[in-house]
A and B are shown apart, each in its own frame.
Chain A
């Protein structure tokens, strides 16, 4: 055990002192924070320039019908042709000229926006929805219905499906499918990336020891198993330190960043912005309702759901399944590393290891839609895919017995895998000169001591 600690210490210290570790530790949270903050900041920074748009309304029915916003003003010009204004456009203060043709009610492309710049989608959609509403209401009015306004107000509806989870103890908790989906996606993808990242570090470490020929010097002092475990655990410690630093730095950066960059320093508001921007980034754009009021509802609902997420369970589950999956795969990566002398030879041998990981990612995507389906269930039990698939299911809520079963299977499998890998490893590290196949490695397992 003492020997494993010594090896672990070396593996840990040489890695955390590397420049690449320090750079990764700092850059990744900056990237994460930027991904969260930038869309939110952009959303708040939206065109603060006041823009004036000249309107030439040939149809003559829209004056006052296009609502002005804080930054968008409309000026209706009378008795002016588009050609007239074209000549003076550059000298005028107008941002653009909106021409509404006579036949606008029957010809959808009768509306033209002239400008010397490319108007943003916000401006064109603002105009088109205003015109559309106006034309629709005018058409409705032409039917001469009594109490039309009242009826219209009456039929305006906004529907959102809120999801409330009932727990066994009878509590009702606001939940959010979108939020669960976002979390599940990010977390399970991270597990996948991290298993790969740190698993291949184990493999590289083994190859380094073999190709630099130090391995025989070391195994005359420690058992090959101790050397392998020390390396795997040392890199596990590196990964934990890195993940914890990432989490702390990301939260720190986001907090500092939002308070510095946002106009409204009040954090609740900044958080709302962030939630919406995350949701947009996660492809939830279709869920963002049209009107500002509904938008607010949506955001506060998200906030409610966010505060109801069991972060202790999710972070705990994340770390457990990541470490379990890492240990399982690291043992296999170590076995592969022991059978080759340079990284170029690893590709073929690594293939069988990557296949279950890739299957897990495919299942993860379907798991996002049906987290309780049979496929998700079974793949969250199989230890080779459970670290990723179980993390996908976790934010949706998983029965305790399933968690315990899946976790135990994972532990049993990685112990068995470590035992097998150690047998391959102790033979492989001392065989030089050629690259070996899985078939040969299988034979090594059966060698006695």
Chain B
């Protein structure tokens, strides 16, 4: 079942079309990656889901019915442009933000105590935000995002501003949230974390959804024409022996072994790549290369822009 569906969303600002016919479906309990170059429209889509702004056309459904005002209590949002009141004390501020999310003072205090202990930040309660480092403030920010135990969490660039240790801590917290049944949408430029965490992705480019689906399928569908080989032999001979349908994309030599990537230009069932290599080198390993999300991202965006005459 989908916890969130947007259908044919369109949003226009003055002369600029921010979202054009964008539909996404976020399965319940998944981690959903929202990818795209800067200015593609991700943040606008996220703001529409958070009801900060409304769509010009299209609709949003939450848990199978149209999104309503009270649904903000079931959504936790960590914006990309985030911060806290610098002069306000940590505890007071966390309490205020928790109450704005509909918690009673009593519940908010209880949950904050739990989270502060979990993140090992109990000692910060009476400190002002301006006394904390950026990473410390981000931890507080994370806590107030999840404090009301929302069904859907939206993180916009959650790892920016964290050192690797804290980024890892947040990553594990997000995976924990998923384990406990929450759905997570997150937008990031860090493709490594997308591969590691996401179940589904949507790639938005120039206001449009240009690629959507489960991450494994997406990667496989873009990986079918590159192969990785582990060889013993002379790589130059291999290169000479390859027919015109094959191209040695890259190779790396290490202790007499060669790691090579070969691209098949016209891919068909009748793949004769091995046949061309066997005469010149010993083959130790052979597999289809699954491209990184990074490669897919760049390839898809560039192809789309080229096809539509955009830069």
Contacts and interface: CB of A to CB of B under 8 A. Distances in A.
A14 B53 contact: no
Contact of A221 (B56, B72, B141): B72
A217 B52 contact: no
Contact of B100 (A6, A212, A430, A448): A6
Nearest to A221: B100
A119 B99 CA distance: 70
A339 B253 CA distance: 58
B14 interface: yes
Q: Which of A209, A222, A430 has the most CB atoms of chain B within a 10 A radius of its CB?
A: A430
Interface string A411-449: 000000000000000000010100000000001000111
Given A430-B52, A449-B53, A217 B77 contact: yes
A448 B97 CA distance: 27
A212 B47 CA distance: 19
Contacts of B13: 447
Given A220-B77, A448-B54, A449-B53, A3 B100 contact: yes
A213 interface: yes
A89 to B, nearest CB: 66
A219 B96 CA distance: 13
A220 B56 CA distance: 19
B88 A14 contact: yes
A217 B96 contact: no
Interface stretch (B78-86, B199-207, B272-280): B78-86
Interface string A37-53: 00000000000000000
B79 A443 contact: no
Contacts of A222: 100
A211 B308 CA distance: 38
B235 interface: no
A432 B81 contact: yes
A220 B82 contact: no
A312 interface: no
Interface string B1-42: 000000000000110000000000000000000000000000
Contacts of B72: 220-221
Contacts of B83: 212-214, 217
B184 interface: no
Contacts of A369: none
- Which range contains the number of A residues in contact with the other chain? 20 to 34
Contact of A217 (B54, B75, B99, B141): B141
Contact of B52 (A209, A213, A214, A216): A216
A221 B97 CA distance: 8
B212 interface: no
A17 to B, nearest CB: 10
**Binding site of A, secondary structure by majority: helix, strand, loop or mixed?**
helix
A222 B96 CA distance: 12
Contacts of B290: none
B144 interface: yes
A221 B144 CA distance: 11
Nearest to A449: B54
A220 B86 CA distance: 19
A430 B82 CA distance: 11
A208 interface: yes
B50 interface: yes
Nearest to B99: A6
A448 to B, nearest CB: 7
A208 B85 contact: yes
A213 B157 CA distance: 14
Contacts of B77: 217, 220
B208 interface: no
B151 interface: no
A139 interface: no
A218 B56 contact: no
B64 to A, nearest CB: 22
Nearest to B96: A10
B101 interface: yes
B79 A217 contact: yes
Contacts of B96: 6, 10
A214 B101 contact: no
Contacts of A214: 82-85
Contacts of A217: 77-79, 82-84, 97, 141, 144
Interface string B75-110: 101110111111110000000110111000000000
Contact of B14 (A212, A443, A449): A443
Q: Which of A10, A209, A443 has the most CB atoms of chain B within a 10 A radius of its CB?
A: A10
A220 B81 contact: no
B54 A430 contact: no
A212 B85 contact: yes
Contacts of B97: 217-218, 221
A448 B47 contact: no
Q: Which of A212, A219, A221 has the most CB atoms of chain B within a 10 A radius of its CB?
A: A221
A10 B89 CA distance: 12
B85 A216 contact: no
Nearest to B129: A212
Given A6-B96, A14-B87, 16 more contacts: A6-B100, A10-B96, A14-B85, A208-B85, A209-B85, A212-B84, A213-B79, A213-B83, A214-B82, A217-B141, A217-B144, A220-B75, A220-B79, A221-B72, A430-B53, A447-B14
13 contacts: A6-B100, A7-B100, A213-B81, A214-B85, A216-B79, A217-B79, A217-B82, A217-B83, A217-B84, A218-B97, A220-B75, A430-B52, A447-B13
Interface of A: 3, 6-7, 10, 14, 208-209, 212-214, 216-222, 224, 430, 432, 443, 447-449
User: Which 9 pairs between the two chains have the least Cβ-Cβ distance?
Assistant: A213-B83, A221-B100, A449-B54, A216-B79, A220-B77, A212-B83, A220-B50, A213-B81, A214-B83
